[in-house]
Amino acid sequence: MIRICPLSALPPGEALRVHAAQDAEPHPPIAVFHTEEGEIFAVDDTCTHQDASLADGWLEGCEIECPLHESKFNLRTGQVDSPPAKLPIRTHTVHIEDDHICVEMSDAQPNLPPGVKFGVES
């Protein structure tokens, strides 16, 4: 479990990119979103189509649009709602503890774009 930040530090409509190194294991950065409707979601930050930070994207409802080529992902399921991306983004479980956003990292394999390893240029 990763403690991200106090809930109040991420207002509705905002996003945060987090470099989440866990157990010294290299890890792709994640993005945490607070939707206008008040839900918190955590997903891998890198678009599965090409290296771009989803935290820089356009948040609408529980859908995030990549700032580079406008692929859209459902933050709840990770599924692609609009191309060019073909693969879903990995989603993580969010808990709120002591008014803090905490993220439980998924064990699933991340779907990173071609040429990108752990969010860092290989």
Binding site for other proteins (CB under 8 A): 50, 52-53, 55-58, 65, 67-70, 83-84, 86, 114-115, 121-122
Can you tell me the distance from the alpha carbon of 96 to that of 108, in angstroms, rounded to the nearest whole number? 22
Name the residue nearer to other proteins (CB basis): 20 or 85: 85
Name the residue nearer to other proteins (CB basis): 67 or 94: 67
Q: In whole angstroms, how close is the CB of 75 to other proteins at the nearest point?
A: 17
| H helix intervals, 6-121 | none
Q: In whole angstroms, how close is the CB of 13 to other proteins at the nearest point?
A: 12
Q: What distance separates the 2 farthest-apart alpha carbons in the chain?
A: 39
Name the residue nearer to other proteins (CB basis): 11 or 115: 115
Q: In whole angstroms, how close is the CB of 119 to other proteins at the nearest point?
A: 15
Can you tell me the distance from the alpha carbon of 79 to that of 91, in angstroms, rounded to the nearest whole number? 9
Amino acid at 110: P
Backbone torsions φ then ψ of 121, nearest 5 degrees: -60, 130
